[in-house]
Amino acid sequence: MSFINYSSREINCKIVYYGPGLCGKTTNLQYVYKKTNPDQKGKLISLATETERTLFFDFLPLALGDIKGFKVRFHLYTVPGQVFYAASRKLILKGVDGVVFVADSQIERMEANIESLDDLRINLAEQGYDLDKLPYTVQYNKRDLPNVAPVDNMNKLLNPRNIPFFEAVAVTGPGVFETLKNVAKQVLVELKKHY
């Protein structure tokens, strides 16, 4: 749930990037970090192994500006994508306000995408959330690779509700901010409904 501090006039929202191992969740955060003004961002914290695989989470605080005199801050988190980090993955979803599902567009990773999406649903349900009711965006990453699945196919498999989706290349940037903006907007619209 968004944390609203009336005395310091701040709103903090938590956005989690979810997806299978090596789909580019951390890369998304790294690109956002690289491209935002120093005064808008905090440190990018990565709890990773020596081979730069996410072990627990990455964390990036972003201050976007003001709404009605309240400072709006987004805390971006990624989960460890590898299957055997399931226990850690669950923990990161606590108190989530919005989810980005990053799918790997390579044909051979389709099964991993589906498995990860199921895992997301189950883990959210365990915390009492319903993916269909949360602010949620899908990103089809790695569109620059030669062996990618057509977007229509991916939509059929991963996005049956046809919610907003974005094609992206997180390494070089296309689609990264579009995805973030979309989910952030949904979070703020949700905030408007509940307060």
Partner 1 sequence: MYEEEFGKIDEELQKLYLQTNAKVVFLVDKNGQLIASAGETHDIDTTSLASLTAGNIAATGGIARLLGEKEFTILFHEGEKDNIHISLIGQRIILVVIFDSRSSLGLVRLRVKKVSEALTKIFTDITAKSDREKSEGKIDESPFAEISDEDIDNLFR
Residue 22 touches partner 1, criterion: CB under 8 A: no
Give the residue, chosen from 51, 52, 69, 130, that forms a contact with partner 1 under the rule CB under 8 A.
Answer: 69
Residue 127 touches partner 1, criterion: CB under 8 A: no
Question: What is the spatial distance between Cα 108 and Cα 129, in angstroms, rounded to a whole number?
Answer: 30
Q: Of 34 and 181, which CB lies nearer to partner 1 in the complex structure?
A: 181
Residue 14 touches partner 1, criterion: CB under 8 A: yes
Residue 61 touches partner 1, criterion: CB under 8 A: yes
Residues in contact with partner 1, counted by CB under 8 A, come to a total of 40
Residue 134 touches partner 1, criterion: CB under 8 A: no
Residue 149 touches partner 1, criterion: CB under 8 A: no
Residue 29 touches partner 1, criterion: CB under 8 A: no
- Options 17-25, 31-39, 68-76, 117-125: segment touching partner 1 (CB under 8 A): 68-76
Residue 189 touches partner 1, criterion: CB under 8 A: yes
Question: What is the spatial distance between Cα 164 and Cα 176, in angstroms, rounded to a whole number?
Answer: 14
Residue 59 touches partner 1, criterion: CB under 8 A: yes
